[in-house]
Homo-oligomer: A and B are copies of this chain.
Amino acid sequence: MASQPFSGVLVPVLTPFTAAGEPDPVRFVSFCRFLLDQGADGLAIFGTTSEANSMSAGERMTLLDRLVAAGVPPAKLMPGAGACSITEAATLIRHAVGHGCGGALMLPPFYYKGMSDDGLYAFISGVIERVGSAALRLFLYHIPPVAQVPFSLDLVGRLIKAYPTTVVGLKDSSGDWSNTAALLDAFPGFAVFPGSEVFLLDGLRKGGAGCITATGNVNVPGIRKVYENWRTSQADALQNEITTVRKAIQAYPMVPALKRIVAHFHDDPDWAAVRPPMTALTEAQSAALLADLAKLGFTLGDRRREADE
């Protein structure tokens, strides 16, 4: 199994939009710095939580250009390269590799449903061949509740076997612990990241690499505590704390809820904006969400430094 640079708590970074609905590189750079300053081990920009598929390939590449130009270390970045065509996925990944990103996170092609593993294999393989770079570290993105197209255990095994130095990990957003456990059992050394911190401790105890989780956008310090202390006697109590926060947030539509929380704690109401087809929380939902979090004593945690201060 090839070396890969990621472990710990990775954040699929929310994307800020301007009032006119355009991606906002200034607030994006600032927020990425904030997350790293809070202790995030990596930034999985352009994921599902990032509304990446609500942006064109060009918009995503421009944001990455701006991030790297601003001095955010590319080695910490694992850009998503979600696309339904081999050509667009290859363009996005080539761009990420060109910037020296630590890795890239790749959805299966998600328009056609019920495709065979042979077809999905040909797609991923086609992208890897088109990118044609020994520097690529590719992470598969398994999120059947949204993509509706899975990476089966068999397909993952075939890809690792064919591309052992390239296909080095997987984000498992199935929400199904038994799938995560099966991956960890089947592929020792392969970097498996549960897509929710709810499974962080269970994952670490079974050889998992950490987690890539939406709520990292608002709770890096809490989640990091579990990662730092997972071998200690406090681990279960710390895990319970972050699971409680997660459950409070996911009682609402996740992305709008996270953006509302960021808007609140960063004192920047414009952060609440989402791009269609998502819709922002209603005022009533926002008030209820913030009240729920207040009851838990939740804040953004130990902020080492506010990037915008």
Interface residue tally for chain A (C-beta within 8 Å): 41
- Cα A57 to Cα B115 in complex, Å, equals 22
- Per-position contact with B for A99-134: 1 when CB-CB < 8 Å, else 0? 000000000111111011011101100100000000
A30-38, A63-71, A81-89, A260-268 - interface stretch: A81-89
Given A84-B53, A87-B55, A87-B56, A115:B146 Cβ within 8 A: no
CB distance from A106 to the nearest CB of B (A): 13
Q: Is the CB of A112 within 8 A of B278?
A: yes
Q: Is the CB of A85 within 8 A of B148?
A: no
Chain B residues positioned under 8 Å from A54 (CB to CB): 84-86, 109, 111-112
| A277 in contact (CB, < 8 A) | yes
- Cα A53 to Cα B112 in complex, Å, equals 8
Chain B residues positioned under 8 Å from A91 (CB to CB): 56
Q: Is the CB of A126 within 8 A of B276?
A: yes
Q: Is the CB of A279 within 8 A of B148?
A: no
Q: Is the CB of B122 within 8 A of A277?
A: yes
- Cα A48 to Cα B303 in complex, Å, equals 48
Q: Is the CB of B87 within 8 A of A59?
A: yes
Chain B residues positioned under 8 Å from A269 (CB to CB): none
Partner of A276 from the list B58, B122, B275, B276 (CB cut-off 8 Å) is: B122
Q: Give me 12 other A-B pairs in contact (C-beta within 8 A), A109-B276, A113-B145 excluded.
A: A56-B85, A56-B91, A86-B275, A86-B276, A108-B277, A109-B277, A113-B148, A115-B279, A116-B279, A118-B279, A122-B277, A149-B277
Q: List 29 A-B contacts (CB under 8 A).
A: A53-B85, A53-B111, A53-B112, A54-B112, A56-B57, A56-B83, A56-B87, A58-B87, A59-B85, A59-B87, A108-B277, A109-B276, A110-B110, A111-B146, A111-B147, A112-B277, A112-B278, A113-B145, A113-B146, A113-B148, A115-B278, A115-B279, A116-B279, A119-B277, A119-B279, A120-B277, A126-B276, A148-B148, A149-B277
